[in-house]
Structure 1
Amino acid sequence: MRALFAMAGAVFALDQIVKVYVVHVLDLAETLRLDVWPPYLNLRMAWNRGINFGLLPAEGDAGRWILIGVALAISAGVLVWMLRESHGIWARLSAGLLIGGALGNAVDRVIYGAVADFLNMSCCGIDNPYAFNVADIAIFAGALGLVVFTGRDKTP
């Protein structure tokens, strides 16, 4: 379980450090955009009040706290799942990615009232209108890893 907690802590710390740097040091909250390596990598400030890609926006304090509760419940559920069953190192690392990312976005909702999204990538003539952050990458990779690295030893 040490690997799970180490991964979750590392993802959480990296996510928060990058967000503080981008939002406050680079002042992206005010400048709103910064081209890093156009069109492949740009910084575009977006305050996400919903779930991924701004779906199901939760306006107001009630919605914000509901989404914080959902993130905490999912994190706790994944942690309990990992503690109750024997899983390999890759499953535990995947769980750590998901939990660290979920907690990083939950902290954003507490501090800012929304998730700070800023990474924007486009390619090949396609202009991507969406932004994401380090926590979103970790959540996606962790969820994918849990699908790939769990359940294979079960018999139907």
Structure 2
Amino acid sequence: MKVSKRTVYILLVIVITIAIDQISKIWIRLNVAPGSQSEIVGDYFTLHNVENAGAFLGMGSDLNPTLRLILLLILPMVVLAFVLRYIFKDKTLDNASLFAFSSIIGGGVANVYDRIVYGSVTDFWHIDLGGMFRTGIFNMADLSVTTGMIILLIVSFRKKNV
């Protein structure tokens, strides 16, 4: 069975995304004290080590265990499987869209893996540009998902303007 370049590209982006995320989280767990905060670039860019039992910004961390299992593990796995199936089936997707969807899948899988193995997700980056722009504490998987979504938005706007 011959594997297409497209399939290799998709799987490579997913695997690299997961690897970068997991390596960064291992480094944080080994080298940054839990609950700590270190300045990287003043108060603008800081490094932390926090465990997030919920989803984005801790949402869902106070749900009962059954609901948390459904909303933070089962539902994301089903959605990620459907997105993966979609990108393998739709041969008309351009490389930017393939990269975006693959980044979203890789980031999603990395965070689901953490929830299964550790019971929470390690978050560590924080950006605060003086009130003008401020993030929650996030990780590389979150960055991959967000980047993928931004790329998809740009691609969709470009298609509408053509």
Q: Which of the five TM-score ranges fits, normalised by the shorter chain?
A: 0.7 to 0.9
Give the aligned partner of residue 75 of structure 1. 80
- Once the 2 structures are TM-superposed, how far is the Cα of residue 151 of structure 1 from its aligned partner? 9.4
Give the aligned partner of residue 108 of structure 2. 102
Aligned residues: 152
Sequence identity of aligned pairs in percent? 24
TM-score w.r.t. the length of structure 2 is: 0.81
| Rounded Cα–Cα distance in structure 2 between residues aligned with 1:71 and 1:136 | 14
TM-score w.r.t. the length of structure 1 is: 0.83
Larger relative contact order (C-alpha < 8 A, sep ≥ 6)? 1
Which secondary structure does the structure 2 equivalent of 1:113 belong to?
A: coil
- Once the 2 structures are TM-superposed, how far is the Cα of residue 73 of structure 1 from its aligned partner? 1.3
| Rounded Cα–Cα distance in structure 2 between residues aligned with 1:18 and 1:91 | 25
- Once the 2 structures are TM-superposed, how far is the Cα of residue 139 of structure 1 from its aligned partner? 0.6
Equivalent position to 2:89, from 84, 90, 93: 84
**Distance change in 2, residues 1:109/1:47 (3 Å):** same
**Distance change in 2, residues 1:39/1:27 (3 Å):** closer
Conserved in 1, the CA contact under 8 Å of 2:39 and 2:45? Answer: yes
**Do structure 1's residue 46 and structure 2's residue 16 form an aligned pair?**
no
| Rounded Cα–Cα distance in structure 2 between residues aligned with 1:127 and 1:96 | 27
The Cα RMSD (Å) is 2.5
What are the ranges of 5 or more consecutive residues in structure 1 without an aligned counterpart?
A: none
Which secondary structure does the structure 1 equivalent of 2:54 belong to?
A: coil
Equivalent position to 2:154, from 133, 148, 151: 148
Conserved in 2, the CA contact under 8 Å of 1:39 and 1:122? Answer: yes
The equivalences for 1:1-156 within 5 A come to 1-23=7-29, 25-29=30-34, 32-57=36-61, 59=63, 61-66=65-70, 67-86=72-91, 87-124=93-130, 128=134, 130-149=136-155
| Rounded Cα–Cα distance in structure 2 between residues aligned with 1:105 and 1:153 | 31
